[in-house]
Amino acid sequence: MNIATFAKRFWGQGLILILLILLATFPLYTMPLFGSDYPLIFLQAIIMFVILTVSWAFFSGPTGYISLAPAAFFGIGIYTTAVVGKSLPLLATVAAGGVVSFIIALLVGAVTLRLKGIFFAVFTFGLVVLIKELLLFWEITVTGTRGRFVLLVDNDTIYYIIFGILILTLLTTYFIRRSKFGMAMQSIGENEEAAAHMGVNVTLVKVITFAISAIFMGAAGAIMATKWTYVDPYVAFDIRMSFLPVLMAIFGGVGTYYGPILGSVVFSYLEELLLTKFPYYYMLTFGIILVVVILYLPGGVASLIERLRQRLQKGGLTGKHANT
Amino acid sequence: MRILEGEKVSKYFGGLRALSNVDFHIDQGEIVGLIGPNGAGKTTLFNLISGALVTKRGVIRFKDKKITGLKPYQICRLGVARTFQSVKIFANMPVLENVLLSSFFGMSTSASSSDATRAAIESLEFLNLSETRATPARDLTLANQKRLEVARALATNPEILLLDELMAGLTHTEVTEAMELITKLRDKGITIFMIEHVMKAIMSICDRIMVLHHGEKIAEGTPTEVCNSKKVVEVYLGE
pLDDT of residue A34: 75
Q: Is B90 helix (H, G, I), strand (E, B) or coil?
A: coil
- A91 to chain B, minimum CA–CA distance in Å? 36
Q: How far apart (Å, rounded) are the C-alpha atoms in residues B123 and B125?
A: 5
Residues of B in contact with A180 (CB under 8 A): 100-101, 104-105, 113, 116
* Band of residue A5 on the pLDDT scale cut at 50, 70, 90: low
Q: What is the pTM of this model?
A: 0.89
pLDDT in tens, A149-162: 888 888 889 999 99
Residues of A in contact with B100 (CB under 8 A): 180, 183
pLDDT of residue A153: 87
Enclosing H/E stretch for B235: helix B230-237
Residues of A in contact with B116 (CB under 8 A): 180
- A136 to chain B, minimum CA–CA distance in Å? 40
| C-beta atoms of A194 and B89 within 8 A | yes
**Would you say A162 and A223 are in contact if contact means Cβ atoms under 8 Å apart?**
yes
**Would you say A165 and A219 are in contact if contact means Cβ atoms under 8 Å apart?**
yes
Q: How far apart (Å, rounded) are the C-alpha atoms in residues A27 and A157?
A: 9
Q: Is the pLDDT of residue A135 over 60?
A: yes
| C-beta atoms of B81 and A197 within 8 A | yes
Q: Which is more confident, A38 or B159? A: B159
pLDDT of residue A283: 79
Q: How far apart (Å, rounded) are the C-alpha atoms in residues B45 and B161?
A: 14
Above pLDDT 90, what percent of chain A?
51
- B175 to chain A, minimum CA–CA distance in Å? 24
* Band of residue A146 on the pLDDT scale cut at 50, 70, 90: confident
pLDDT in tens, A247-302: 999 889 888 888 999 999 998 998 888 888 888 887 788 788 888 887 888 788 88
Residues 184-223 of B with CB under 8 A from A: none
Above pLDDT 90, what percent of chain B?
77
Q: Which is more confident, B24 or A302? A: B24
Apex B88 CA angle, B85 and B92, nearest 5: 155
Q: Which contacts (CB < 8 Å, 24+ apart) does range B10-14 have?
A: B10/B55, B10/B57, B10/B58, B11/B41, B11/B44, B11/B48, B11/B53, B11/B55, B11/B57, B11/B215
Mean pLDDT score across all residues of chain B: 92
Dihedral angle sign, alpha carbons of residues B115, B120, B125, B126: positive
* Band of residue A322 on the pLDDT scale cut at 50, 70, 90: very low
> What are the φ and ψ backbone dihedral angles of B119, each rounded to 5 degrees?
-60, -40
pLDDT of residue A320: 43
Q: What is the separation, in whole angstroms, between the first and last Cα of chain A?
A: 13
pLDDT of residue A11: 72
| C-beta atoms of B93 and A200 within 8 A | no
Say how many CA atoms lie within 13 Å of A266 toward its Cβ: 20
Does the CB of B138 have a partner CB in chain A at under 8 Å? no
| C-beta atoms of A194 and B73 within 8 A | no
* Beta carbon pairs, A and B, within 8 Å: 78
Prediction ipTM score? 0.91
Q: Is the pLDDT of residue B94 over 90?
A: yes
| C-beta atoms of A201 and B100 within 8 A | no
Query: What does the pLDDT average to over B151-171?
Result: 93
Question: Among candidates A105, A101, A71, which has minimal Cα distance to A238?
Answer: A71
Q: Is the pLDDT of residue A318 over 50?
A: no
Site from B43, B88, B97 to mutate, A interface, most A CB atoms within 10 angstroms: B88
Among the ranges A174-188, A221-235, B99-113, which has the highest mean pLDDT value? Answer: A174-188
Query: What does the pLDDT average to over A207-224?
Result: 96
Q: Which residue of A has its CA nearest to B108?
A: A199
Enclosing H/E stretch for B65: strand B65-66
- B84 to chain A, minimum CA–CA distance in Å? 8
| C-beta atoms of B76 and A190 within 8 A | no
Q: How far apart (Å, rounded) are the C-alpha atoms in residues B93 and B119?
A: 18
Amino acid at B52: A
Q: Which is more confident, B236 or B17? A: B17
Average the pLDDT over each of A179-183, B14-18, B171-175 and give the range with the smallest value: B14-18
pLDDT in tens, A83-111: 998 889 999 999 999 999 999 999 999 98
| C-beta atoms of B105 and A184 within 8 A | yes
**Would you say A106 and A73 are in contact if contact means Cβ atoms under 8 Å apart?**
no
Residue B229 CB partners (closer than 8 Å, separation 6+): B211, B219, B221
